[in-house]
Amino acid sequence: GKVRAPTHIISTISDDRGEEPCYAGVPMSSIIENGYGVGDVISLLWFKRSLPRYCTQFIEICIMLCADHGPCVSGAHNSIVTARAGKDLVSCLVSGLLTIGPRFGGAIDDAARYFKGAYDRSLTPYEFVESMKKKGIRVPGIGHRIKNRDNKDKRVELLQQFARTHFPSVKYMEYAVEVENYTLTKANNLVLNVDGAIGSLFLDLLAGSGMFTKQEVDEIVEIGYLNGLFVLARSIGLIGHTFDQKRLKQPLYRHPWEDVLYTK
């Protein structure tokens, strides 16, 4: 038989050795000939399989809706300040990306983990939220700085609308909405945010599409794939803000003294 020297790297998602590169076994030419989009490419490179159209469309909607949220949010602010310090594109991009985390944009995986844990254990929203409170953990996917009961997040509504029309089941999302109904009794801004909407709906996508085994769903949630959607999406906006500042030839940013409370 064949004898192979042991390798230092194992790779299972793409192969560039043949006449044309393949993503999860699918040659580039088929990707183009079949009119695949970025959602299909994400399916191949992240999930190692082709997913049904409604799933790839959902992925694309997440990317489009999370691409930017104005200049005032943490990520854009960092990229803007970095651009104004005269730094290169990659530095501006990563400086913005580094703000993505448990409070900003990076709560999707934890939202999926906690909503799944609570739903699968049949906790009522009251039991779930109060148990989180006892542990001193804010419910990931709940709460927003500027959105509230009377000024709901349009992105959340659009994602929910799409899923209600196209997904076979939206049980995790419905659970997240019940949690929101309960948290809204506590404070006006404790709405289901875009991280929570994507986290719960991706659980529905994974569980309802018939494309993943239960173990695979658990592995995806455990490893934490879903913050990748926000990172990828928001890179589009952060790059845009960087170009904008450079185009506008904005000078070095210095925060005004008046906006700092100097105290001992």
Binding-site ranges for ligand ACO (CB under 6 A):
102-105, 107, 138-145, 187, 189-190, 193-196
What are the structure tokens assigned to 63, written together?
Answer: 């990317």
2, β-bridge pairs: none
For tokens 């994602």, name the residue.
159
N-term to C-term CA, the chain? 76
**Residue with the two structure tokens 């939206």:** 170
**Residue (133 or 154) nearer to ligand LMR, CB:** 154
Report the distance separating Cα 46 and Cα 23, nearest Å.
10
Q: How far is CA 263 from CA 104, 205, 260, in A?
A: 28, 51, 9
Least Å distance between CB 62 and ligand ACO? Answer: 11
Residue 184 CB, nearest approach to ligand ACO (Å) = 11
Using alpha carbons, select from 129, 238, 234 the residue that is nearest to residue 187: 129
List the structure tokens of 18.
Answer: 């043949």
Closer Cβ to ligand ACO, 23 or 182, answer by number = 182
CB nearer ligand LMR, residue 98 or residue 146: 146
Nearer to ligand ACO, 50 or 183 (CB): 183
Bridge partners (DSSP) listed for residue 219:
none
| x/- track of binding to ligand LMR for residues 141-180 (CB under 6 A) | ----xx----------------------------------
Using the minimum distance from each CB to ligand LMR, give the nearer residue, 142 or 194: 194
Minimal distance in Å, beta carbon 122 to ligand ACO?
Answer: 21
Q: Could you list the beta-strand ranges (E) of the chain.
A: 14-15, 22-23, 26-27
- Hey, what are 46's tokens? 């992240």
Contact 115, 200 (CB under 8 A): yes
- What is the per-residue DSSP string for 217-246? HHHHHHHT-THHHHHHHHHHHHHHHHHHHH
CB of 154 to ligand ACO, least distance (A): 13
Least distance from ligand ACO to the Cβ atom of residue 77, Å: 13
Site track for ligand LMR across 188-227, x = CB under 6 A:
------x---------------------------------
Interface of this chain with ligand LMR, residues 57 to 96, rule: CB under 6 A: 69, 73
Residue number, 100 or 179, with CB nearest to ligand LMR:
100
Best CA proximity match to 54, nearest among 200, 212, 155, 167: 167
Closest CB 164 distance from ligand ACO, rounded Å: 21
Q: Give residue number: closest CB to ligand ACO.
A: 143
Residue ranges that bind ligand LMR, judged by CB under 6 A: 69, 73, 145-146, 194
